[in-house]
Amino acid sequence: MWYNIILFYLKISPFEAIIRYMFDYIARALRSFGIENYNFEARALLGHLSRGGPPSKEAADAALGRRRRREPLQYILGEWDFCGETYKLNRGCLIPRPETELLAQYIMEAAPHGAKLADLCCGCGCVALSVLKRRLDMSAIADDISHEALEAARLNAKFLGVESRIEFFAGDIFKDEILPLIVNRGFLAANPPYLSAADMEAVRREGSEVSYEPEAALFGGADGLDFYRRLAGLLAKAPRIERAAFEVGLGQAGAVCALLGEVGFEVGVIKDYSGIDRIVSASRS
């Protein structure tokens, strides 16, 4: 009875009281784990846990246990926002990042009317699908070596209502099977794996959130440039592709520009929010 009296004077419902308690509980736990944005993450987790009704302490503890082990918040939620849309994720997908939105935005602005996009290493599909959501005149193919990632991408295409304008393929871009898929496309895009061997060693040693992401979506060879060499080679064999745009890692823009220049493309660079050269754009000269 005393509980109801307190709620009456506080003028809040029992559900609101539970939400307030659980928010404080989750936020305190996250803060104790050393999570910098603990209030933001607490709101995100609470929203996720409250979808079926009042969240239970058991469910909160399970999610907190995963976060304490530094599993990324995005995988715990099973989704993340990108270009104003929410994308379903699984452990086979690279987590969408704000810098990659620059790649999607460039394609939206630079692609000619009716362009046919090829998005390689597509992951959850966030680049191609965000483009199609805003460019109703465009169509796309999307390819990834991970069947698990493509499962999420197909769900996202259906959720966004663009599934009729995109085809998905499970192909290895280092094999000849990929060339027939892109040869008749006009625009090639990719956010490929670009961490070097030294980068990957640091990720494994530090045990950070990045270590939970699939290695196949991160590792770009000894110097991180293997995929860009292959992409340049594909462009040399696909003369109908007039434009291309790729996300690159820290310090890689110069080398990628050189690779594209060698196969007849004029190049440009777009900086990200931290002033880092992040997107390499290319058009046939």
| In the block, residue with structure tokens 């599934």 | 163
What residue segments make up the domains of the chain, in order of their start?
Answer: 2-69, 79-284
d(CA 247, CA 194): 9
Is residue 53 very low, low, confident or very high in pLDDT (cuts 50, 70, 90)?
confident
pLDDT of 8 higher than 70: no
pLDDT at 1 (0 to 100): 41
pTM: 0.92
- Number of neighbouring beta carbons within 10 Å of residue 184: 12
pLDDT of 246 higher than 50: yes
Q: In sequence order, which residues have a C-beta less than 8 Å from that of residue 244 and are 6 or more positions away? A: 187, 188, 189, 231, 235, 260, 265, 281, 282, 283
Please write the tens of the pLDDT for every residue from 198-245: 999 999 998 889 999 999 999 999 999 999 999 999 999 999 999 999
pLDDT at 208 (0 to 100): 87
CATH topology for 79-284 is Rossmann fold (3.40.50)
pLDDT of 117 higher than 70: yes
pLDDT at 12 (0 to 100): 60
